[in-house]
Structure formats: C-alpha cells, structure tokens
Chains A and B, each alone.
Chain A
Amino acid sequence: MKHWTEGFDDGDADESLVRPYTITGGRTTSERDDLTLITLVTTISEASSEIGHGLRRMQPEHRAILGLCRRPLAVAEVASALNLPVSVTKILIGDLIETGQMRARPPLAFAQAGGFPSMTILEAVRDGLRKL
C-alpha cells in the first residue's frame, strides 16, 4: 500500500472528482473502517498547538477539520461543512486520529445483531423531543 504522500501532485486539480482525491494523495479508501457517518470526532486540544506533527504533508483540509472539531462533530457534519464526499472526509479524519490529533467516539451498534438502545437512552431522547 502506498503512503498517501507518495505521488502527490498539485498540478492536476481541474477535474472535480480528482481534486478531493488529490487532497488524500490518491487514496480512495480509508484504512480505518471504524468511522461511521455519526462517529463524533473531536480535536485534541493539546495536539492542535503542534499542528502538523506526525503528518508529513498536512493539507489545508486537515487544518480546517482540526479547527471545526474544537467541539465534537459527526463525520457527516465535517463532510458537509468542508463540502467533501464522506469517503474523502473519513480518510482525512483517519490521518488526524492516527497522528494523535483527534479522537473519535463511535456510536453504539443498535441495529446490529441483538443491539438495542437502553431505556436510559430512550427516555432521554423522548424527553428531549418533548421539549421541541
């Protein structure tokens, strides 16, 4: 597997589909398969002071993600804010997790075999909805 900074080429960003994958250095699939649409990701504040540490080629989008996620945001929210496809966003977030600049909180696996939201969660959701 090629490292994402290999073969990096800025000169070929004219095609709308190519540009997002240029950001990822040509990678189109994430090595992490644990990021979901509603995994909440948060910038680790201590790490943000030494931005770029551990990432050989920090893209502006990496920085934008770190800036956005000072409060926890879902992967889908990050993708939407950056106007990037979900798969590309997952790759970038994966980079930042790998280099210790972000942490992720995955959702509980309700819909998977046997999973079911607890009464505590259901009551909280009900009470929250009633306040709408």
Chain B
Amino acid sequence: MGYASSDHGDGAPLAVKILIAGGFGVGKTTLVGTVSEVAPLRTEEYLTHASVGVDDLEGVSGKATTTVALDFGRITINSELVLYLFGTPGQERFWFMWNDLVNGAMGAVVLVDTRRLDVSFASIDFFESRGIPFVVGVNCFHGVRDRSQEEIRKALDLDPQVPLVLCDARNRAASRDVLLALVDHLMAAQRSRTAPLPTS
C-alpha cells in the first residue's frame, strides 16, 4: 500500500513535517536535536535574494550577505513515511520562508518559556490566523513551574481546544510526548471532520 494519492509511488517515501516554532531561545533547536535520528541539520537561505525576489546577480552581489539559518531533524517512521521537524524562529525576517515551511506541514508545536511568554506570541498568532493546528509546549527551564497552566493559557489567550503540555526539550520522552500530543490533537480534529457529532 502507500500513502500516495498521486502516481509518485516510485520508491520514495512520503515526507511529512511538523514545525517546531516559538520565539527566540525557547528550546526549538534543543527539541529537534533531542528527538531527531540524525544530529540537527542546518540549512541556509539568502535573505536578500528570497525577500527581494531578484533574478539578476548584480543586484545580489552588491549587498551584504544576509542569510537566515534554520535547523531540522528527521525521524524515519517506516519505509513509506519520513517525518521532518523544522525549527522555525518567530522573527519577522523569516516570514518570507513560511510558505515553504508550512507546505506539507501537518501541524506545529509552539514552545514557550514561562519567563518570557511574549516571545512566542507571534508564532501563536501565525498558526491561529492560518488555521494550522498546533499544540503549546511549555518548556520547563530549570524545572521552573512558576505559573499554573491556567495562568499560562490566559496569558497566551489560548483557545480552550488547543492542548498545552509541559515538557523539557532536553528530554527525549518528554519531547516525544509533545509531538504525540500534536498527533492526538490532529486525530481528534480528523475524527470530528469525518464524523458528525452525535446528536444529544
């Protein structure tokens, strides 16, 4: 069998993607590295080129080399399915890449640091406004649990349906559980799409 809906069943598996988002320094790269089967990979894109969309070399070479880096990891699910995790910074200078980042993404994990919840606001806004399913992972730096989940939800103005899970991005089981929370969330959403709610 295969997951293909198209005629590309020529041996290559299907690639799916989960975005690991959130503001500066919330633990995105750490989480990707913790669960990836390979050391996190890093790739770059030219900011000047991609944001300006130029196609003449002169225009590019005259400018300073500005690149943005993003890191990603890989989990081979089975011979037909590969899951990629992309750490996606929340800075606005990254927005130009987001069409490509979002393409093929099943959903996202937005990591937050309870001491600096505000740095992840932009990521939450982004996924909310595009209707991309996400869960919030509360990265427990230094075991800090200084805020109740209710407080965090309120501060993030989180929709009640959006799961919020505590995690430690350095811990494999905890990081895996955040990803599983997203998959469960997606499954619940899928069920409610395909099966109408029972009438009461």
Contact = CB atoms under 8 A, between A and B. Distances in A.
A127 B130 CA distance: 28
Contacts of B43: 37, 76, 79-80, 85-86
A125 B85 CA distance: 12
A72 B45 contact: no
A42 B11 contact: yes
Interface string B1-32: 00101001011111111000000000000000
Contact of A111 (B11, B105, B180): B105
A106 to B, nearest CB: 7
Interface of B is mostly: mixed
Given A37-B86, A122-B190, A107 B12 contact: no
Contact of A28 (B15, B56, B106, B190): B56
Nearest to B77: A128
Contacts of B179: 129
B193 interface: yes
A128 B75 contact: yes
A15 interface: yes
Contact of A122 (B101, B104, B130, B186): B186
B67 interface: yes
A126 B183 contact: yes
B12 A76 contact: no
A77 B74 CA distance: 9
Chain B interface size, as a band, is: 35 or more
Given A21-B57, A28-B54, A42 B12 contact: yes
Contacts of A101: none
Contacts of B10: 42, 103, 105
A21 B41 CA distance: 22
Nearest to A123: B187
Contacts of B78: 124, 128
A111 B15 contact: no
Q: Which of B43, B45, B102 has the most A CB atoms < 10 Å from its CB?
A: B43
Nearest to B59: A28
A106 B180 contact: no
B83 A128 contact: yes
A96 interface: no
Interface of A: 15-18, 21, 26-29, 36-40, 42, 72, 74, 76-77, 79-81, 85-87, 103, 105-112, 116-130, 132
A-B pairs, top 5 by smallest CB distance, nearest first, are A107-B104, A128-B77, A72-B12, A80-B41, A38-B15
